[in-house]
Amino acid sequence: MKKKKNPEKSGSVIIARQEHGISRKLMSPNALRVLYRLKDNGFVAYLVGGCVRDLLLGREPKDFDVVTNATPGEVKRMFRSCRLVGRRFRLAHIHFKEELIEVATFRSQASDEPEPEAVETRRGEQRQRLPHMLMDDEGMILRDNVFGTPEEDALRRDFTVNALAYDIADFSIIDFASGLADLGAGIIRTIGDPAVRFQEDPVRMLRAVRFAAQLGFTMAEETRKALVASADTIVRAAPPRLYDEMLKILLSGEGAKCCDLLRQTGLFAALFPAFSAWLDSESEGFPHTRFGEMLTCVDSRIQKGDKISPPLLLALLFGEYLDEKAENFRAKGAPWQQSIDAATAEFLGEVCPFVQITNRVGLALRDIIAQQTRLKLIPGRRPQAFIARNDFNDIIEYCRLIHGDKKDVAGRLEWWRAQAEQMEQEPLAPLSKRTEETGAPPRKKRRRRRRKQHGLHQSTK
Ligand code: ATP
Ligand code: MG
């Protein structure tokens, strides 16, 4: 691969079109449309980040990100389907039928920006303008929105392999931070001092782990050392962001490898202190193995292209822990359903201060565990209503993956599956007929109605 120093973009290296293997055929046609329109309107436009990295590695990119010197407002005027989003930094989202292309304006980190002066509002009040870049006392970036040069934009990115750009003007690749060398050697290395970069944004530590595992790379020695030294500070990141990043990790198809790395580096214990201690302990002389087994199982399903919902994922990984908690509540006298409610609440109380599982997912996780008993009753009460639940497939899948190798369980699941299939083929019969067919007790009338009937006439039944 021939490299040329770039006279305009200091410190960067250009790899001409004929010297690299990226073909436009491998790119999203929508991303190309966006790039061409920006270029035709006289703007600079690059593909950046993960998509360039993945195209060079021969992997299919997950999404295509574009950067440009057009401002968000200018981008909006160029695309009818454009929405401006983001409070921390304004981004343009260009919507296509089945794809979203994100367009960002070149940003600079501008960490030594002077305090902005006060401005006069239309009512004549003096108001301090918000600084473009805001850091907390410990150097974590809270807000950063200063337009910059292409090089500044590249250097504020996290890792060298994520700072490569593809220039639509001449189809060249611009390497701002020796990313190509690291890509060739399989190394994840922060741009700049890793301790500082992890301090600015602790989520980068989780990203380092994910990319190392997903791409089969190793971390540069300095990056790894700084990560281990900073692992405890991961909890300074916003809990909803940590939840999003943990989901990406666990659904990456390399969750087992990621979790090994998280545990080796101390990140796992920092994020899930109680669960991590439990995982390292034994119950009645037996180690807790389900978490590891389920990670492998989830990975193989993701690699096959299956989808796993977040509640099912959490149930599979934390189910054994929840079962044990519920068992403890039952030992103290709690009835079955209450023991599961209490176990889930306790688990969410431990995890959410750091990794904020959303309310909806928390409730859905509880339901998957709680509804397991219904699978044991054939046909049970109102089986069709049970099958019609939104989470029926997750309830079945959970049971199959946890206990599916047991003969009686497999037989029961087969029965439920057959019922679900039959129900899919036949539209629902009227309620009176349905209860006759399923053998379920007839549905009670709603109390309010019955009272009304009593009040008005004597019941005919
Ligand atoms: P993938 O989409 O495959 O998970 P990616 O590298 O594209 O990987 P995105 O989250 O889509 O990751 O981010 C796009 C790009 O934005 C990254 O490649 C990187 O250059 C930059 N980036 C994302 N998150 C950060 C961060 N926390 N700090 C600095 N740069 C970041
Ligand atoms: Mg991406």
pLDDT digits (tens, 9 = 90+) for 403-420: 877 778 888 888 888 888
Tell me, yes or no, if 158 is annotated catalytic: yes
- Tell me how many domains the chain contains: 2
Tell me, yes or no, if 65 is annotated catalytic: yes
Instruction: Please name which of 357, 159, 372 lies closest in space to residue 250, comparing C-alpha atoms.
Output: 357
- The ligand 1 atom at the shortest distance from the C-alpha of residue 65 is 14
> What is the CA(405)–ligand 1 centre distance, in A?
40
In a domain, 69, yes or no: yes
pLDDT given at position 442:
52
> What is the CA(104)–ligand 1 centre distance, in A?
12
Tell me, yes or no, if 40 is annotated catalytic: no
Ligand nearest to the CA of 104: 1
Residue among 54, 65, 299, 367 flagged as catalytic: 65
Strand partners, 45: 68
In a domain, 393, yes or no: yes
Mutate which of 101, 162, 174, 201 for ligand 1? The one with the most ligand atoms within 8 Å of its CB, which is 162
User: What residues in the chain have per-residue pLDDT under 50?
Assistant: 111-124, 126-131, 431, 434-439, 451-461
Tell me the whole-structure pTM to 2 decimals: 0.84
Residues having CB closer than 6 A to ligand 1 are: 49-50, 62-63, 65, 157-158, 162, 201, 203-204
pLDDT given at position 122:
46
> What is the CA(91)–ligand 2 centre distance, in A?
14
Q: Which amino acid is at 282?
A: E
Domain boundary among 150, 170, 185: 185
What number of helices (H) and strands (E) belong to the chain? 22, 19
Strand partners, 94: 82, 101
pLDDT given at position 448:
58
Domain boundary among 164, 185, 206: 185
Strand partners, 287: 282
Which residue, by CA, sits nearest to atom 21 of ligand 1?
A: 157
Residue among 63, 244, 260, 323 flagged as catalytic: 63
- The ligand 1 atom at the shortest distance from the C-alpha of residue 157 is 30
In a domain, 158, yes or no: yes
> What is the CA(234)–ligand 1 centre distance, in A?
18
Gap between the Cα atoms of 356 and 245, Å rounded: 11
Domain boundary among 142, 164, 185: 185
| Domain CATH code at residue 178 | 3.30.460.10
Asked whether the beta carbons of 47 and 168 are under 8 A apart, the reply is: yes
Residue 395: domain span: 371-427
Ligand nearest to the CA of 141: 1
> What is the CA(162)–ligand 2 centre distance, in A?
9
- Enumerate residues 6+ apart whose C-beta is below 8 A from 152: 106, 107, 108, 109, 110
Residue among 54, 144, 158, 167 flagged as catalytic: 158
Which residue, by CA, sits nearest to atom 6 of ligand 1?
A: 50
Which residue, by CA, sits nearest to atom 1 of ligand 1?
A: 50
- The ligand 1 atom at the shortest distance from the C-alpha of residue 63 is 2
Which residue, by CA, sits nearest to atom 27 of ligand 1?
A: 204
SS3 content of the chain, % helix, strand, coil (to 5): 55, 15, 35
Ligand nearest to the CA of 28: 2
Which residue, by CA, sits nearest to atom 17 of ligand 1?
A: 49
- The ligand 1 atom at the shortest distance from the C-alpha of residue 51 is 7
Tens of pLDDT, residues 206-259: 999 999 999 999 999 999 999 999 999 999 999 999 999 999 999 999 999 999
- The ligand 1 atom at the shortest distance from the C-alpha of residue 248 is 4
pLDDT given at position 368:
96
What are the b/e assignments for 279-293, b being 16+ CB within 10 Å? Answer: beeeeeeeebebbee
In a domain, 417, yes or no: yes
In a domain, 194, yes or no: no
pLDDT given at position 90:
87
pLDDT given at position 386:
83
Which residue, by CA, sits nearest to atom 9 of ligand 1?
A: 50
> What is the CA(391)–ligand 1 centre distance, in A?
32
Which residue, by CA, sits nearest to atom 7 of ligand 1?
A: 50
In a domain, 358, yes or no: no
> What is the CA(376)–ligand 1 centre distance, in A?
45
In a domain, 242, yes or no: no
In a domain, 4, yes or no: yes
Gap between the Cα atoms of 368 and 399, Å rounded: 9
Q: Which parts of 207-340 are beta strand (E)?
A: 218-219, 282-283, 286-287
pLDDT given at position 128:
45
